[in-house]
Structure 1
Amino acid sequence: MDRIVLKVGSAILVENQQINTQRIESLAKIISTLREKYEVILVSSGAVATGYTELKLDKSFLENKQALAAIGQPLLMQKYSEIFKKYNILTAQMLVSWHDFDSRKHTKNAQNTIEVLLKNNILPIINENDVTAIGELLKLGFGDNDQLSAYVAHYFNASLLVILSDIDGYYNKNPKLNKDAKKYKIVNKIEKHELESEATPNNEFATGGIVTKLKAANFLLENNRAMFLANGDKLEVLSEFLLNNNHIDGTLFKRD
């Protein structure tokens, strides 16, 4: 059974500064179906945004952002647990940091945990350990869940990373500013200048934008793995791609 990683961002989970439980419901439904064919690992943003629904702290201060993550992470996991339980899916939380992929011992421990969870049909839900690691991760250029999910896919031996975002794929120019923008269906190589553009997240709780997604894709391409970028509001695209091998939308990053 192939192993895949699904990453869902704050732009999908958060709407009007609230967690969108309907989208989590849709996500649970499709994951339930995907698990008949794949081993699934979920990487989820949204802890800070969930915390903000309970306490309106200024997110421009690192300590406030860490506090919001501490408040929001258990609340977000509770939502996941309640909704996924309707589909007979038991969830497990894993908080990771850079050191978990920079230490042979830590990486092996995390890999062992993933294998036990998947062997017992439990859905691992992974997030970065924002409470203690944000400052360090940002300093290292690893402070977003797009690149984190690429590391998860690589080190936990998944054949494919799927990033569900608020965009339909990767375009040759910003489609929100250029009506003539063209979407790439398949990308085999990412040029250096594309990786050096400024990150432009569309949601105030998001930390990435297209650049962090390209960096994630580039890391996987360099490690002979694939990534699929699609709109999280159009889960039929994901379903067609993974269940019917029908690429109707989205962008696939893969080696020739």
Structure 2
Amino acid sequence: MKRIVIKVGSSVLTNTNSMAKERMLNLVSLIAKARKKYEVILVTSGAVSAGYTAVQLNKSIPTSKKVLASLGQPILMSSYKKLFDIFDVTISQILLTEEDFDSRVHTQIVQDIIDRTLKNDILPIVNENDISTTPDQLFGDNDQLSAHVAYHTNSDMLVILSDIDGYFDSNPKNNPKAKIRKIVSEITEEELNQKHTPNNQFATGGIVTKLKAAKYMMDHNKEMFLCNGYDVSSAKEFLIEGTQNKGTLFTTKKSRQEVLS
């Protein structure tokens, strides 16, 4: 059975002052279906934005952001548990930092925990531990975290569910004729050095962090699929039905069929 990492962004999980319950239910339903075909690891953002639904602190103040994360972690996990209980899926929470991948010993511990979790039919839900850590201990965005989790757990593919339909040939905000690049096999330095442009106040990246994650995956001969998390139909078609109508597949393999088989 192939192993995949699904990463979901803050904007998918929350509205301004509330959890996005319908979108979360659609995500959970997708994962429940995907688990029949794959071993699934979920990397989730959303702790800070979930905390903001309870108390509106100023996120730009570092300590306030940590407080929001501490508020939001139980809100986020409680929301996940209620929804995964509908599908009889047991979940666990794993909080990581960049330091967990800095040494062979730490990395092996992470690998063993996730392997054991999956062997016991438990869905591991991974998030970055940004509460009691310093900035240099953090990836800073969960796109990078999810790519490292995918590589170090020997996953076959990373799927990023975001607030965009895929990677366009130009900025769709400025060019209404912009088209999705369905398959990308090379990412240039110019693309990686674009300005970070998150669409949501609680997002920490934008397209650049996703391109960096894709580059990391391709450099390690693995694939990444980027698609919309507001409507998970593209992810469902790709993962469950083996077809690609939307979304962008980042791959070094010669054919899409080779990836989907």
TM-score by length of 1: 0.96
Is 1:160 matched up with 2:163?
no
Match of 2:256 in 1: none
Where 1:237 maps in the other structure, the secondary structure is helix
Do the aligned residues in 2 keep the contact of 1:13 with 1:24 (CA within 8 Å)? yes
Task: Go from structure 1 to structure 2 and tell me whether the alpha carbon gap of 1:13 and 1:189 turns closer, same or farther (over 3 Å shift).
Answer: same
After TM superposition, which residue ranges in structure 1, 4 or more long, deviate above 4 angstroms? none
Match of 1:120 in 2: 120
Match of 2:228 in 1: 231
Match of 2:44 in 1: 44
Match of 2:247 in 1: 250
Among candidates 168, 171, 181, match of residue 168 of structure 2: 171
- AA aligned to 2:23 is R
Q: Aligned-residue CA RMSD in angstroms?
A: 1.1
Is 1:8 matched up with 2:2?
no
Where 1:132 maps in the other structure, the secondary structure is coil
Q: Whole-Å Cα distance in 1 between the matches of residues 223 and 133 of structure 2?
A: 27
Q: Whole-Å Cα distance in 2 between the matches of residues 86 and 67 of structure 1?
A: 30
Among candidates 144, 156, 160, match of residue 147 of structure 1: 144
Do the aligned residues in 2 keep the contact of 1:96 with 1:127 (CA within 8 Å)? yes
Match of 2:130 in 1: 130
Do the aligned residues in 2 keep the contact of 1:62 with 1:135 (CA within 8 Å)? no
- AA aligned to 1:49 is S
After alignment, is 172-181 or 98-107 more displaced?
Answer: 172-181
Kindly tell me the number of residue pairs found equivalent between the two proteins: 253
Where 1:212 maps in the other structure, the secondary structure is helix
Do the aligned residues in 2 keep the contact of 1:167 with 1:231 (CA within 8 Å)? yes
CA offset at residue 32 of structure 1? 0.9
Where 1:171 maps in the other structure, the secondary structure is coil
CA offset at residue 180 of structure 1? 1.9
Percent identity between the two aligned chains = 50
Do the aligned residues in 1 keep the contact of 2:150 with 2:156 (CA within 8 Å)? yes
Match of 1:82 in 2: 82
CA offset at residue 17 of structure 1? 3.0
The superposition leaves residues 82-120 of structure 1 with CA deviations (integer Å, 9 ceiling, x where unpaired) of 110110001100000011111111110010000111001
Match of 2:182 in 1: 185
Match of 1:200 in 2: 197
Match of 2:258 in 1: none
CA offset at residue 133 of structure 1? 2.9
Q: Whole-Å Cα distance in 1 between the matches of residues 39 and 204 of structure 2?
A: 27
Q: Whole-Å Cα distance in 2 between the matches of residues 166 and 177 of structure 1?
A: 17
Q: How does 1:37-116 map to 2 (within 5 A)?
A: 37-116=37-116
CA offset at residue 137 of structure 1? 4.4
Q: Whole-Å Cα distance in 1 between the matches of residues 134 and 55 of structure 2?
A: 19
- AA aligned to 1:201 is P
Where 1:184 maps in the other structure, the secondary structure is coil
- AA aligned to 2:11 is A
Q: Whole-Å Cα distance in 1 between the matches of residues 70 and 134 of structure 2?
A: 12
Do the aligned residues in 2 keep the contact of 1:8 with 1:44 (CA within 8 Å)? yes
Do the aligned residues in 2 keep the contact of 1:134 with 1:143 (CA within 8 Å)? no
TM-score by length of 2: 0.94
CA offset at residue 244 of structure 1? 1.7
Is 1:216 matched up with 2:213?
yes
Do the aligned residues in 1 keep the contact of 2:44 with 2:142 (CA within 8 Å)? yes
CA offset at residue 15 of structure 1? 1.4
Stretches of structure 1 that go unaligned for 5 or more consecutive residues are none
Do the aligned residues in 2 keep the contact of 1:66 with 1:134 (CA within 8 Å)? no
Q: Whole-Å Cα distance in 1 between the matches of residues 94 and 32 of structure 2?
A: 20
Q: Whole-Å Cα distance in 1 between the matches of residues 51 and 202 of structure 2?
A: 11
CA offset at residue 132 of structure 1? 2.2
CA offset at residue 134 of structure 1? 5.4
Do the aligned residues in 1 keep the contact of 2:99 with 2:137 (CA within 8 Å)? no
